[in-house]
Structure 1
Amino acid sequence: MNMPALKYSQIHQGFYTFINEDVLPTCGIEVNVFWQAIERMIADYSNQTSEFINQEQNSQLAANTKIAPVIDRQQLIQAANSKWTSFFEAPCTGNGETETTSKAYLDKHFPLATGSHADVKNYVVYYHHLLAFFDDGSQSGLANPSEFVALCGHKCSPDSIVLQQTQTGLHLEMVFDRKGARGARDCAGIEDILVESNDCIVVDFNAVQIDGESKIQAYRNLQSFLRGDLKTVTIVNGQQTICRMNNDVTFTDVDGDDYCIENKSPIRIRCANQSLATEFMRDSKGALAPQVIIDAVVTSLMLRKAQGTNKQTSLLLERGGFTAKMMESINEMFEA
């Protein structure tokens, strides 16, 4: 294997090319500055691990966290596309949810000023307000009118309406179709209720094989995932199927302007186990570099590029955590 040489280290050729051609140009960091900095960081880590990793810290994940191996493109796409969940299919609502339960959910989170969503026969938008009409001809707005934020379709007969919880800022979309399987049975023609979540996605490097090509592919997957253009292509019986990350969704707000909801969730990138080494770099004695440092540096570079589109990103470890000194060392690369 041809490995370019640094002052004290050797580098995997594929990794060297990938970083120089695909990563550094997007970050504004000079090639020599980067390689000298990572060489020093690896040497410092080998000499004094405790200054980089806090072994006593335990990174706890919330129960609803979605974990996706970075090497598995399909799982990454599924995690990204689970930001919106049908109320009728969500695990938290149980099996066989009825119309009554869905209306109780609406009454709890988006109550009307008078009456219940269970008795609504039609929803219309009048100027900036959502109005619910009942069977006797009476009407009611929302108890908190500002919770109505957008719609799709005509105000007199919307295809969907979008509500936003005041406390969480999360959205709910009521989809109407009086000819649909569920909408035909619903008194208001509600076909579906889509609930937005803000569940964290953990992109996990722990399952990645440590050979060079697998690792580089994992980094490429992460790049595409952070850009939002990750996709898979499969061919079954001559038919091609493309699976993509969902785009942002756009509705019409109360003033007639576009109302865009981004398809982005909080992202945490879990670096490889501290005990693993990688063939990407070898020191002057031929010892393999710690994989956790390579992961931390490379993913930090990618996150730096992605910060403009999703600022809810961070690094973590399965056991322990990166110290402030470690993050300062990485930030010094950006400032050099």
Structure 2
Amino acid sequence: MTERTTVHGLQVATPLYNFINNEVLPGTGIDQAAYWKGFDEIVSTLAPKNAALLAERDRIQLEMDAWHKANPGPIADMAAYQEFLKKIGYLVEQPAKVQATTANVDSELATQAGPQLVVPILNARYALNAANARWGSLYDALYGTDVISEEGGAERAGGYNPVRGAKVIEFARNFLDQSFPLEGASHKDATGYAIAGGKLQVALKNGSTAGLKNAAQLVGFQGDAAAPSSVLLVNNGIHADIIINRATPIGSSDAAGVADVVLEAALSTILDLEDSVAAVDAEDKIVAYKNWLGILKGTLTESVSKGGKTFTRGLNADRVYTGVNGEKVTMHGRSMLFLRNVGHLMTNPAILWGGDKEIPEGIMDAIVTTTIALHDLKGNGVNGIRNSRKGSVYIVKPKMHGPVEVG
């Protein structure tokens, strides 16, 4: 029997009630009594509407079932079928005078185009891995996948294979030539990278130097301008970081000291409360909400064992560079995080309302997850960690059928 705390018209599983009071609300500026009063008012207003929407879904489904039983097989008259769907309310006219606008949208959504991951939020390690997948090693990705053929002695098995490594480096140099071409030269012939007069200067094997065809592709660098440890470039809004370190095994054998090329990869991630998880009670929901809270505050960590060693994984910091004009350039170090709330259909026994009815889980998610997101909006993250720099919360709301459900 679940222990519950009665607050207004809600019966909240006591562990969830305590988690919200003790871990979520502090730092948000929200008074506990006002929060639960508002929570109850929202549920009492919206839960009956949610139930009515689901009843309407059932009505439409019964109408469609009856039609298909009466008209088995392929649809012979599509126009008539569409009229039937309109008559029962499955197809509706586009609403008039609807306008949607956006403001305070981060660049990962507004101007950049790149991969998006989806991970179950119940798994802290997956969530951290996805958030940290904003930047990834091109060398590692090429070496460990079938992008590079294993023909000609370039097998992946065993220890480091220098034949395969050479193919990886060749591929990466071709990538640099395609995405960040030099004026009259190739990155394959580079013997050194430097920043001079706010421009990239690449020393070549023949003793000459070359710059970028498009000088504006240089964003910044780390270390000394004359011998940088990192050169940050941009193409079509996506960044690549040439890592230079002659003290590493790869860098020591490279003419230019290039140890890796790190690419901006997963620009955004959906942390999923719905499709990829099964959160069936208060205990599950607390795990999910706690992970969301920890990742926004930058406190979520996970112990990882790999190769016989155990270490603690947390969130990556931002990447800081010196810009071409000497100004500080900060690149977001983590994937921009969305949170997928549960849709209209599911209920959850974590909170009861109206006596003994389970709360619509999507309503519970909406209230709790956006409250947690206040920690990000208020800058409560450790070490300056932020998700949105524009002051937004990104919620994915799935499986809504038509404008009434969206409303």
Partner of 1:197: 265
Q: Write the distance in 1 (CA, Å) between the matches of 2:319 and 2:283.
A: 35
Alignment partner of 2:213 out of 121, 139, 143: 143
Counterpart check, 1:65 vs 2:116: yes
Partner of 2:27: 26
Runs of 4+ in 1 over 6 A off after TM superposition: 50-57, 321-327
* Contact 1:45–1:52 under 8 Å retained in 2: no
Q: Write the distance in 2 (CA, Å) between the matches of 1:326 and 1:23.
A: 28
Partner of 2:62: none
Q: Quick one: structure 1 residues 325 and 87, their matched pair in 2 at CA, closer, same or farther if it must change by over 3 Å?
A: same
Partner SS, residue 107 of structure 1: helix
- List per-residue Cα deviations over 1:182-240 (Å, max 9, x = no partner): 3344332221100012532111112143222231122111111112231013589x975
Aligned residue identity for 2:226: C
Partner of 1:133: 203
* Contact 1:175–1:193 under 8 Å retained in 2: yes
Structure having the higher helix fraction is 2
* Contact 2:114–2:265 under 8 Å retained in 1: no
Q: Write the distance in 2 (CA, Å) between the matches of 1:324 and 1:110.
A: 49
Partner of 1:270: 340
Counterpart check, 1:113 vs 2:180: no
Partner SS, residue 143 of structure 1: coil
Partner SS, residue 114 of structure 1: coil
Alignment partner of 2:358 out of 288, 301, 315: 288
Structure having the higher strand fraction is 1
Partner SS, residue 133 of structure 2: coil
Partner SS, residue 6 of structure 2: coil
Q: Quick one: structure 1 residues 88 and 36, their matched pair in 2 at CA, closer, same or farther if it must change by over 3 Å?
A: same
* Contact 1:150–1:161 under 8 Å retained in 2: yes
Q: Quick one: structure 1 residues 135 and 51, their matched pair in 2 at CA, closer, same or farther if it must change by over 3 Å?
A: farther
Q: Quick one: structure 1 residues 45 and 140, their matched pair in 2 at CA, closer, same or farther if it must change by over 3 Å?
A: same
Q: Quick one: structure 1 residues 63 and 320, their matched pair in 2 at CA, closer, same or farther if it must change by over 3 Å?
A: farther
Q: Write the distance in 2 (CA, Å) between the matches of 1:191 and 1:235.
A: 25
Alignment partner of 2:387 out of 280, 302, 310: 310
Q: Which range moves more in the overlay, 223-232 or 74-83?
A: 223-232
Partner of 2:44: 43
TM-score under structure 2 length normalisation: 0.69
Aligned residue identity for 1:200: S
* Contact 1:51–1:323 under 8 Å retained in 2: no
* Contact 1:52–1:323 under 8 Å retained in 2: no
The 5 A counterparts of 1:89-100 are 89-90=140-141, 94-95=147-148, 97-100=167-170
Q: Quick one: structure 1 residues 234 and 172, their matched pair in 2 at CA, closer, same or farther if it must change by over 3 Å?
A: closer
Q: Quick one: structure 1 residues 129 and 269, their matched pair in 2 at CA, closer, same or farther if it must change by over 3 Å?
A: same
* Contact 1:316–1:322 under 8 Å retained in 2: no
Partner of 1:3: 4
Partner SS, residue 175 of structure 1: strand
Q: Quick one: structure 1 residues 235 and 88, their matched pair in 2 at CA, closer, same or farther if it must change by over 3 Å?
A: closer
Query: What is the root-mean-square deviation in Å for CA atoms of aligned residues?
Result: 3.4
Aligned residue identity for 2:396: L
Deviation at 1:14, TM superposition (A): 1.8
Q: Quick one: structure 1 residues 323 and 221, their matched pair in 2 at CA, closer, same or farther if it must change by over 3 Å?
A: farther
Deviation at 1:72, TM superposition (A): 0.7
Q: Write the distance in 2 (CA, Å) between the matches of 1:264 and 1:322.
A: 34
| Higher Rg of the two aligned structures | 2
Deviation at 1:161, TM superposition (A): 1.4
Q: Quick one: structure 1 residues 94 and 210, their matched pair in 2 at CA, closer, same or farther if it must change by over 3 Å?
A: same
Partner of 2:383: none
Q: Write the distance in 2 (CA, Å) between the matches of 1:259 and 1:321.
A: 44
Aligned residue identity for 1:310: N
* Contact 2:10–2:352 under 8 Å retained in 1: yes
Q: Write the distance in 1 (CA, Å) between the matches of 2:148 and 2:239.
A: 23
* Contact 2:131–2:337 under 8 Å retained in 1: no
How many corresponding residue pairs? 321
Partner of 1:78: 129
Partner SS, residue 122 of structure 2: coil
User: Which structure 2 segments of 5+ residues have no match?
Assistant: 58-89, 92-112, 150-166, 380-385
Q: Write the distance in 2 (CA, Å) between the matches of 1:199 and 1:93.
A: 23
User: Which structure 1 segments of 5+ residues have no match?
Assistant: 328-336
- List per-residue Cα deviations over 1:79-118 (Å, max 9, x = no partner): 0111111122337992255333222211222122222212
Q: Which range moves more in the overlay, 42-51 or 105-114?
A: 42-51
Aligned residue identity for 1:39: D
Q: Quick one: structure 1 residues 93 and 140, their matched pair in 2 at CA, closer, same or farther if it must change by over 3 Å?
A: farther
Q: Quick one: structure 1 residues 240 and 135, their matched pair in 2 at CA, closer, same or farther if it must change by over 3 Å?
A: closer
Q: Write the distance in 2 (CA, Å) between the matches of 1:32 and 1:255.
A: 52
Q: Quick one: structure 1 residues 235 and 128, their matched pair in 2 at CA, closer, same or farther if it must change by over 3 Å?
A: closer
